[in-house]
A and B are shown apart, each in its own frame.
Chain A
Amino acid sequence: MDAIADFLATYSTTFAIVGINALLALSVWLTLYAGQLTLGNAAFMAIGAYTSALLGRHLGAPFPLALAAGAVAAAALAAPLGLTVFRLRGVYLAIATLAFGEVVRVILLATPITGRGQGLNGIPPKTELWHIYLSLAVVAYVLWRVQGSIAGRAWAAIREDEVAAASQGIAVRRYKLAAFVLGALLAAWAGGLSAHVTFSIDPNDFAFTKAVQILVFAVVGGIPNVLGPVLGATVFTALPELLRPFKDYRDIFQGAILLAVIIYLPRGIVTLAELRKTRRLAEIGAADVA
């Protein structure tokens, strides 16, 4: 038992980050499953992190309330943003959401209350491991059930063919917006949790690199089911730790794994057991995430 306790104590930060990254990966899964490539989730994460930390510091808000306020703030911002950017598709949508992330970062850099370039320091470590893993369990379960629901099928239909989806009575814009807002909510929740793990945050924690990292977790893990993003986040967060002995070559290993997955498992690691279906989908030229 002591050995296990030691292990947990030594790696508790790693475990925390794995869980938070899994939540972030699930936040971008929502839009990806509906066929929409958005890269704004690092910014929503920042909004959750700063809002919850500032509320705790200046108003003494209880931790759960501060987390919830951060999530709601991100969702409230995502709604009007989504109404605007979902006029765009594909790579244009990705660029627009990325630009939004840059705007958020620059505002954080320029605002006194967010600590400008220094960010916020001395954030109390209120996040317990069980907060993270309870959140993850609840979110993963809900998304799994949603995937098989009418809404989940509507998202899949939108991904396959928007025009035909509208023709089946699906309110396409409303469904896209719902996926985007829920994703923002989730990313901000994860951001709040992460701020209270890491002691300090600054605007560059939530920049372009973070947005791409979140996307890589989800895509490498696989979009066809909710286990994919969780698995992708786990592998890509734990890997640097496992590869510590080969420190100098770590980035090379990571890059090689990324390449291998994209080439040989284009639908993600979770589809290892369904290579035949991947081939069938490729043959008929279907959207390649289903």
Chain B
Amino acid sequence: MLLETRQLSRTFGGVHAVDRVDLAVAAGQAFGLIGPNGAGKTTLINLISGHLRADGGSVLLDGATVTRLAPHELTARGIARTFQGVRLFKGLTVFDNVLVGRHARLRSDVVRRLVPRRSRADPDRERAMGLLERVGLRRRAGALAGELAYGDQRRLEIARALASEPRVLILDEPAAGMNPSESGRLRELMRALVAEGITIVLIEHDVGLVMGTCERVAVLNFGRKIAEGSPAEVRASAAVREAYLGAEDVA
């Protein structure tokens, strides 16, 4: 397994936001994480990406325990993520946002820059441009990130995350605020990334998008994993229907 959580837990003042969750994401898989509002999806992601400390349990990346690592160390090891509600560097250009995303793969250039030389072709800049091309933002490279339309900001955030050459890409509600044609293109992008060998963990409210993209889906409710399996299996699960529709409708 590329990414695993074992009995991962986190409480906030007595509330079990994430309660002994086991997940196992295989390399090259698109893994979906769904659940009603407040089910603990984003908390779980924050635990995995190091933005929150776990109270118990562990996170494993490629078999190694990474539970206590800081976010920047996890990025260096190959976990990249986007944020629910988008967190771009609004005052920097679109292009610089992607360059910053490459930080984990760059070596310090301060000394080199003190002696100015004629500019050579810079593979990192070309790569950043290539990523912008890929998400359809090449023409906006010089704009300020905060000036982009909301859907474009989401795509820029994905390009920025890809710049770190992640093994696991965690997308927290990437389709929120996108129109159907945009989310269709997002689905194509995710499929292409999986085809390239990138593992995706997708958190989404749009159950259709998850079911259409992911080979495996886990369902959270009140911090607990209540179901896991193929989209068809999850759809058939009584526990899932109960979580989404309420107990009475199940009978």
Interface residues of A (CB under 8 A from B): 142, 145-146, 148-151, 153-154, 156-157, 160-161, 163-172, 280-281, 283-287, 290
Contact = CB atoms under 8 A, between A and B. Distances in A.
Contact of B91 (A142, A154, A165, A281): A281
B146 A286 contact: yes
B88 interface: yes
Contact of B71 (A148, A149, A151, A166): A166
A151 B80 CA distance: 20
Interface of B is mostly: mixed
B122 to A, nearest CB: 12
Most B C-beta atoms less than 10 A away, residue of A156, A169, A171, A283: A169
A169 B113 contact: no
Given A169-B76, A170-B103, A284 B146 contact: yes
Contacts of B106: 150
Interface in B70-125: 70-72, 75-76, 80-81, 83, 87-92, 96, 99-106, 108-110, 113-114, 116
Given A153-B100, A169-B75, A169-B76, A164 B88 contact: yes
B92 A148 contact: no
A148 B104 CA distance: 17
B90 to A, nearest CB: 4
A90 B127 CA distance: 35
Nearest to A289: B91
Contact of A149 (B50, B113, B164): B113
Nearest to B110: A149
A190 to B, nearest CB: 21
A9 to B, nearest CB: 35
A82 B102 CA distance: 27
B227 interface: no
Contacts of A161: 87-90
Nearest to B157: A164
Given A163-B87, A164-B83, A290 B75 contact: no
A170 B100 contact: yes
A283 B91 CA distance: 10
B103 A285 contact: no
A150 B144 contact: no
Nearest to B107: A150
B41 interface: no
B147 A280 contact: yes
Contacts of B103: 150, 153-154, 157, 168-170
Contacts of A154: 100, 103
Nearest to A156: B92
Nearest to A144: B113
Nearest to B105: A169
Nearest first, the 8 closest Cβ-Cβ pairs linking A and B are A169-B104, A284-B146, A286-B91, A169-B75, A160-B89, A164-B87, A290-B91, A166-B71
B72 A171 contact: yes
A284 B144 contact: yes
A151 B108 contact: yes
B216 interface: no
Nearest to A160: B89
B128 to A, nearest CB: 12
A99 B169 CA distance: 44
A56 B231 CA distance: 77
A121 B36 CA distance: 73
Contacts of B75: 167-169
A287 B91 contact: yes
Contacts of B76: 169
Contact of A151 (B87, B96, B105, B110): B110
Contacts of B88: 160-161, 164
Contacts of A163: 51, 71, 83, 87
Contacts of B160: 168
B58 interface: no
Contacts of A142: 114
Contact of B110 (A146, A281, A285, A290): A146
Given A154-B100, A170-B103, A285 B89 contact: no
Most B C-beta atoms less than 10 A away, residue of A165, A168, A283: A168
Contacts of A146: 110, 113
Contacts of A170: 72, 100, 103
A167 B79 CA distance: 9
A285 B101 contact: no
Contacts of A145: 110, 113-114, 116
